[in-house]
Chains A and B, each alone.
Chain A
Amino acid sequence: MSAIILAVVGMAVFFLGYKYYSKFVAERIYRLDPDYVTPAHKYKDGVDFVPTNKWVLWGHHFTSVAGAAPIVGPAIAIYWGWLPAFLWVVLGTVFAAGVHDFGALVLSVRNKGQSVGTLANKIIGQRAKILFLFIILILVLMVNAVFAWVISNLFINFPSAVLSVFIQIPLAIWIGYLVYKRSGNMLFPSIAALATMYVTAIIAARVPALQIDLPRYFGGAENTVAFGLDGVSMSFFVWIIVLMIYVYIASTLPVWKLLQPRDYINSHQLMVGLGILYLGLLFSNPEVTAPMMNTEATTPWFPLLFITIACGAISGFHGLVASGTSSKQLNKETDARFVGYFGAVGEGLLALIAIIAVATFFANPGAFTAAYDSFGTAGNIGLTTFIQGAGQLATGIFIPADIAATIVAVIVVSFAATTLDTSVRLMRYIISELGSEYKIKSLTKMHVATTIAVVSSAALVLLPRGPQGFGSGGYLLWPLFGTSNQLLAGITLLLITLWLKRQGRNYLITLIPMVFLMIMTLWAMGQQVFFQWSGLGDAEMNLLLFMLGAVIFVFAIWIMLEAVSALRKNNTNIPTDKDQSM
């Protein structure tokens, strides 16, 4: 079957979802009011609250939510065959992610632009706030550990991408200086920076001397270097230490110096990447060679699929962005449909092309099953396969496969590195907040909090022995990442449901995805925590995973109970439209 059919069917469903379903939700359920005075107008301050053109806001929203995660999840989940991943990405985006992102935006707009965390505090109570803080803390700890491994792995597999990624740092600092200190235009310098990065990538792909290939420097994979580590393990060790030092510096600098200008360069990369891949797909017309369903899969797809693909379909992180910044800048309430729902569709498109790139990479179904021989291997090779598959797609527009793969690797590493910076920074804020909550003054200091964040992340990567060998300790937590992210999405859906119920409207459109999401998450978690990691089944006991998993499992049950009790009583903490008009 041609992969173009997959893309067309996926896009058609996205289109219909946006055109009809989101319209129905906007008019009948959320009842958007073009005359409602949004917080952007009501609290306009020129800094946080600024009415913004809907296209501009959509661009901001989309680039904030799309990163490496919607690529990683689908690239692993294709282990079960392309059909389950495809269906969940397409239908999940339309019926769960769309209403979730859109709803978080509307809920926040109707509540003074407050974030989901604050609203949870108000609606469910103080317990919810602490719950929230801990879930986000575990989430970011896992993101740090997983992405440090992801980046190191890509550096080892694509040594030609290293130089470009490092060149991005001084370029970003230069753009930051240009823009903030001299109020210059950002577009042209950042495009020039991007061009420099890609030219470096192209040259490095062809000149081996410019490839920073650590395993080769250490005398190959077989050579034992020091502390009993072979060449590859030693390379992981070095890259992870380098990344941790970098991230310490990056997360303590003011955001405008490095983080934001880097984001700005990366936003172009998202557009460039999506453009290259979809155009390449159109011109090269590849065949789908991955099986529709992998009958040889030893790990069942149900319910694990729904936590493996976290950001490709619904993601709690989107709710944080929607209610954190986007809601404060919404010009008209009716724009929420375009910004929220269509933002989710944008992310769905990224996940869709990730599925297609992996599904068309192998020569035949046999090669696929040989490569993806277990769920653990899928976690190991998913991202690398995506990059090679994407490189193959790019040959459709006459870019040589090796150069294309290097450029895609640069794009993925840049996304992953920004996520890493942001999540270490977030972790620092949360540690400080917990410090002030429990009156431990030293924790509120920047360098103390950053040290704790960096050291605990490094320990998580290096200390436990992951399924992919040394340094992959964090990666083994990917299902947990999915779980906590889905939990967050569940809480947001719960808040929207409560709000709709209090208004006396039909709340099934958010209740059904919430119940589905919670059941899948709890089911998958329960299976892993109690039968896999506890040592009760055939598998060996894994104390770290068991403990972390058990904590999240308890949180999930707790939230379910809160949900049931909140749904049963009429919560008066949620303002309705009538309260606001008085």
Chain B
Amino acid sequence: MDFKKILQLYDEMLKQGHRTEIARELRDEDDLFMILCYSDMLGIPNPAFYYTLELYPHMLERFHEWHLRMGMDKSPINGFRCC
């Protein structure tokens, strides 16, 4: 194994304990971003809604994971047909 790989393994070893926290933090940030993008669907006026709507197909999968994680079996937003 070359030196770079050893270094990478060592970094990963030490990062492991913190990975969960980073992942959780990033996920929370993603959730917030998603809610901000689709705030119009929840009744909060959003001037950029026209543009954020274009993200819809890219975020469908993640939206589905989000509402399952929040304990809702079906999508809470009528227009969102993820499941």
Contacts and interface: CB of A to CB of B under 8 A. Distances in A.
Interface of A: 46-48, 50, 52-53, 55-60, 63-64, 179-180, 185-187, 190, 255-256, 260-261, 263-264, 267-268, 325, 329
B13 A186 contact: no
A59 B13 contact: yes
B19 A50 contact: yes
A50 B7 CA distance: 21
Contact of B13 (A50, A60, A263): A60
A46 B23 contact: yes
B18 interface: yes
Nearest to A187: B11
B18 A263 contact: yes
A47 B9 contact: no
A325 B25 contact: no
B25 A180 contact: yes
B28 to A, nearest CB: 10
B25 A59 contact: no
B74 interface: no
Contact of B12 (A53, A179, A256, A264): A53
B22 A59 contact: no
Contacts of A179: 18, 22
B22 A187 contact: no
B23 A59 contact: no
What 5 pairs between A and B have smallest CB-CB spacing? Answer: A59-B13, A60-B16, A187-B11, A47-B23, A56-B12
A489 B7 CA distance: 35
B49 interface: no
A261 B16 CA distance: 12
Nearest to B21: A256
A315 to B, nearest CB: 18
A253 B43 CA distance: 34
Contacts of A46: 23, 27
Contact of A56 (B7, B16, B22, B27): B16
A141 B12 CA distance: 33
B24 interface: yes
28 contacts: A47-B27, A56-B13, A59-B10, A59-B12, A59-B13, A59-B16, A60-B13, A60-B16, A63-B13, A64-B17, A179-B22, A180-B25, A186-B11, A186-B15, A187-B11, A190-B14, A255-B21, A256-B21, A260-B18, A260-B21, A261-B18, A263-B18, A264-B14, A264-B15, A267-B14, A268-B14, A325-B20, A329-B16
Contacts of B25: 180, 256
Contacts of A260: 17-18, 21
B21 A186 contact: no
A53 B7 CA distance: 15
A256 B11 contact: no
Contacts of A56: 9, 12-13, 16
B18 A264 contact: yes
A264 B11 CA distance: 10
A267 B14 CA distance: 7
Nearest to A186: B15
Nearest to A264: B14
Contacts of B15: 186, 264
B26 to A, nearest CB: 8
Which interface residue of B15, B16, B25 has the most chain A CB atoms within 10 A?
A: B16
B34 to A, nearest CB: 16
Which interface residue of A46, A261, A325 has the most chain B CB atoms within 10 A?
A: A46
A542 to B, nearest CB: 39
Contacts of B11: 185-187
Contacts of B24: 47
Given A256-B25, A260-B21, A186 B14 contact: yes
Nearest to B24: A47
A186 B14 CA distance: 9
Contact of B14 (A47, A63, A329): A63
Nearest to A329: B16
Contacts of B17: 60, 63-64, 260, 263-264, 267, 325
B18 A187 contact: no
Nearest to A267: B14
Contacts of A267: 14, 17
A579 B19 CA distance: 33
A59 B20 contact: no
A124 B19 CA distance: 33
A47 B23 CA distance: 6
Contacts of A268: 14
B13 A187 contact: no
A59 to B, nearest CB: 3
A180 B25 CA distance: 8
Contacts of A57: 16
B64 to A, nearest CB: 14
B20 A187 contact: no
Which interface residue of B18, B21, B25 has the most chain A CB atoms within 10 A?
A: B18
A256 B29 CA distance: 14
Interface in B1-60: 7, 9-25, 27
Contacts of A187: 7, 10-11, 14
A55 B13 contact: yes
B22 to A, nearest CB: 6
Nearest to A59: B13
Given A186-B15, A256-B22, 14 more contacts: A47-B24, A56-B12, A56-B13, A56-B16, A59-B14, A60-B13, A60-B14, A179-B18, A180-B21, A260-B17, A260-B18, A264-B15, A267-B14, A325-B17
B25 to A, nearest CB: 6
Given A187-B7, A256-B25, A47 B16 contact: no
Contacts of A261: 18
Contacts of B27: 46-47
Nearest to A50: B19
A56 B8 CA distance: 10
